[in-house]
Amino acid sequence: MIVNFQNWQKLDLRVGEILKAEDIEGADKLYKLTINLGTEKRTLVAGIKEFYSKEKLKGKKCIVFTNLETKKLRGVESNGMILAAVSYDKEGNEQQVKLLQPDSDIEVGSRVY
């Protein structure tokens, strides 16, 4: 599917900083993340537990899709999505997951175009 520029402009992607990662009871792949977006803090749920420890996530900058509709996962309301690159093995299993990040330091809350 081709997305026209007008639709692309509807996406609100921002630089966020992960303040805290917490386990979610009964979820072996999900973390509850607290993200600083500069003007606000948000809670997101991300399926990155098998690829990142809580300690490695704290303080990490990432790209956040901020105007994605809210979704409840395992009883936690997720208000956005962190973006990541994913590679798969020949059987279609996730092999690597790497968070998308700015290539150098930039202010939290900065818009991604």
Binned at pLDDT 50, 70 and 90, residue 93 comes out as confident
pLDDT at residue 94 in the model: 76
Give the DSSP letter string of 83-110. Answer: -EEEEE-TTS-EEEEEE---SS---TTP
Burial of 60 (0-12, 13-18, 19+ CB in 10 A): middle
Q: Which amino acid is at 41?
A: K
pLDDT at residue 10 in the model: 96
Assigned CATH for 11-106: 2.40.50.140
Q: How far is CA 9 from the centre of its chain?
A: 19
Question: In terms of Cα–Cα distance, which of 45, 53, 60 is closest to 15?
Answer: 60
For residue 74, give the DSSP letter: T
Q: Whole-number mean pLDDT of the chain?
A: 96
Per residue in 22-77, pLDDT (tens digit) is 999 999 999 999 999 999 999 999 999 999 999 999 999 999 999 999 999 999 99
Q: What distance separates the 2 farthest-apart alpha carbons in the chain?
A: 42
Q: Is the pLDDT confidence value at 109 over 90?
A: yes
What is the pTM assigned to this prediction? 0.92
For residue 28, give the DSSP letter: S
Q: Which amino acid is at 4?
A: N
